[in-house]
Amino acid sequence: MAVALGSLMRPVVPPAVRVGLIVAVALFVFAGECGLHRVTLPHRRAQVPSAVIAAGGDAGALQFGFEMGCGVRTHMPSNLPYLPLMAVLLVGSWAAAVAAGLGFGLGRAAMALGRHHSRDAPWWDRQWQRHERSIRITLALAAVLLTTGIVLF
């Protein structure tokens, strides 16, 4: 949908403005992941029930990622998904949209799979809490560099 909407916007919004908007979103997202603000962008606040992951094994983790990636349940503790959305909207193609959606779904599934395969969910949760800030910053920096690198070059 973002590509379709973007195809209506791209002809009327100058390229420099589109790139500027993407860079502004990248800076906003990165600042949020670094803890410099607590503004959350709009999203549906329906979480995937923990029973999906707990009872489903690998299939449950993949279902979790699928539901998140498709927007069925989209509670997002981060603004990070808005960065590829803006890039797809303002400069992307259908292939970029599919790649962004797959990346989002696989990333969310990876979290659930990692927790499931740790065989010690409380330990995994403690490790996540312990390293959450550095992981968030690392992921945000990677996303910002990748997205802006693709957009600018």
Going by the DSSP 8-state scheme, the letter that residue 139 receives in this structure is: H
pLDDT of residue 131: 96
Q: What integer is the mean pLDDT of 34-43? A: 86
Tell me which residue of 108, 110, 106, 45 sits closest to 74, measured CA to CA: 45
CA distance 121 to 111: 12
Examine the pLDDT at 12 and tell me if it is beyond 70: yes
Per-residue pLDDT reduced to its tens digit, 55-108: 666 777 777 767 766 666 666 678 888 898 899 999 888 888 888 888 877 887
pLDDT of residue 92: 81
The lowest-confidence range among 6-20, 35-49, 53-67 is 53-67
CA distance 84 to 91: 10
Average pLDDT of the chain? Answer: 83
The domains of the chain are located at 2-152
